[in-house]
Amino acid sequence: MKKNWIFFGLILITACQLLNEKTKKIEKPNIIILLADDMGFSDLGCTGGEISTPNLDKLAENGVLFTHFYSTPRCSPSRASLLTGLYPHQAGVGHLDEDWGKPGYRGFLNDHCVTIAEVLVENGYRTIMIGKWHIGSKRENWPDMRGFEKCYCIPKGGGLYFYPSKFSYVVIIKFSSSVQVKDNVSMFALQTILYFLA
């Protein structure tokens, strides 16, 4: 009889522990993806570069540094691959953002792929895109149509990065006047982060 109580007690303790593990909130990691055009692998300090890049080095040290990503000679196909996990032609961006009328050369992300932003939003993440988009300049191909909730970007390949152009769209959020920001890109990033934290 005593053995039965001990056995029952062990089952009850195990069941409580399993239930507790299931109900614990799983903390999701923050994800920041940086893509720098025209930068070589060894340009960063953390990969042996000659230039001091302490902030990027710290991100690499405390996060994940992709060392086996295939970068193409063009920026748009590299962006398409990074965002979708596919070869650029599979995503529809085999060259730049011109539509050549062929499946692998549409110049925008096709409907046969999903972006990392679309997957992250489905899993409870908040998504921001800042900078050069260059994988679809028509309005229906902009970042907010591919999973990004907020965006400060230039859909076409070139433009003014530090001041909004006709291609940029910004959500203005008020924050403390004690914060000093030197350019509009940093201002938007800070405003968006504060918005997401609110």
d(C-alpha 87, C-alpha 69), whole Å: 11
* Residue-wise pLDDT tens digits, 30-45: 888 888 777 777 888 8
Cα distances from 29 to residues 12, 26, 163, in angstroms, run 33, 10, 31
> Residues 46, 95, 112, 134: which is the catalytic one?
134
Catalytic status, residue 95: no
Place 4 in a pLDDT band, splitting at 50, 70 and 90.
Answer: very low
> If DSSP codes are grouped into helix, strand and coil, which group holds residue 154?
strand
Distance of alpha carbon 15 from alpha carbon 136, whole angstroms: 52
pLDDT band at 113, cuts 50/70/90?
very high
- The catalytically annotated residue of 16, 46, 75, 89 is 75
Q: Tell me what the pLDDT averaged over the chain comes to.
A: 76
Query: Is 75 known to be catalytic?
Result: yes
pTM over the 0.95 mark: no
CB–CB of 113/90 below 8 Å?
A: yes
pLDDT digits (tens, 9 = 90+) for 127-186: 888 878 889 888 899 888 999 988 877 777 766 555 544 444 444 333 344 444 455 666
The pLDDT tens digits for 85-106 are: 999 999 999 998 889 999 999 9
pLDDT at position 178: 46
- The overall longest dimension of the chain from CA atoms, in Å, is 81
pLDDT of residue 114: 97
Instruction: Look at residue 87 in the predicted model and tell me its pLDDT.
Output: 93
Q: Match 């063009």 to its residue by tokens.
A: 74
